[in-house]
């Protein structure tokens, strides 16, 4: 299947991922790799989400003062760094569910709510939608 057809199919499917309510769910996306961060932000925005991108530990903490419905940590971040970032985010009041993107053969860190394979775009977006739906149900909608 050609790249253009794959992208077209993604855009058609993405239009149905985010229809939770009037407010777009807000996602904090963290990565050590700026190109992966940019790609993830574009993908999530096309799926209808508001995305704040943070490159690295300090940038993530700087953005932590905002309310987020979900935090996504990229697979470019080593496991030990993910755990340190999560601890610091919690210290600063960021307590949104955490989706950890995994490298091949990696296991989910205990602090993560869920994990996903970043190479499976459909699966990743399905997981994001499921996590946001669960959070909305627990909170009777987004805050």
pLDDT in tens, 121-130: 999 999 999 9
Using 50, 70 and 90 to split pLDDT, how confident is the model at 20?
A: very low
Is 12 or 92 the better-scoring residue by pLDDT?
A: 92
Main-chain dihedrals φ then ψ at residue 73, nearest 5 degrees: -105, 125
Q: What pLDDT, on the 0 to 100 scale, is given for residue 105?
A: 85
Q: Domains in the chain, start-ordered, CATH in brackets?
A: 24-139 (3.40.50.2300)
Residue 141 pLDDT class (50, 70, 90 cuts):
low
Long-range contacts of residues 9-18, Cβ cutoff 8 Å, at least 24 apart: 10/46, 10/121, 10/122, 11/46, 13/122, 13/125, 14/43, 14/46, 14/47, 14/48, 14/125, 15/48, 17/47, 17/48, 17/125, 17/126, 17/128, 17/129, 18/47, 18/48, 18/49, 18/129, 18/132
Q: Which of 76-80, 89-93, 98-102 has the lowest mean pLDDT?
A: 89-93
Given a cut of 80, whether residue 91 has pLDDT beyond it is: yes
Residue 22 confidence (pLDDT) = 60
């Amino acid at each position: 299947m050609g790249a253009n057809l794959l992208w077209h199919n993604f855009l058609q499917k993405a239009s149905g991922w985010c229809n939770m309510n009037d407010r777009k769910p807000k996602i904090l996306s963290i990565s050590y790799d700026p190109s992966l961060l940019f790609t993830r932000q574009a993908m999530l925005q096309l799926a209808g989400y508001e995305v704040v991108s943070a490159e690295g530990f300090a940038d993530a903490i700087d953005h932590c003062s905002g309310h987020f419905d979900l935090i996504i940590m990229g697979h470019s971040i080593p496991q030990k760094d993910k755990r340190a970032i999560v601890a610091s985010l919690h210290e600063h009041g960021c307590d949104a569910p955490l989706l950890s993107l995994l490298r091949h053969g990696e296991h989910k860190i205990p602090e993560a709510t869920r994990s996903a394979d970043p190479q499976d775009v459909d699966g990743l977006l399905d997981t994001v939608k499921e996590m946001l739906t669960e959070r909305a149900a627990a909170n009777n909608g987004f805050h």
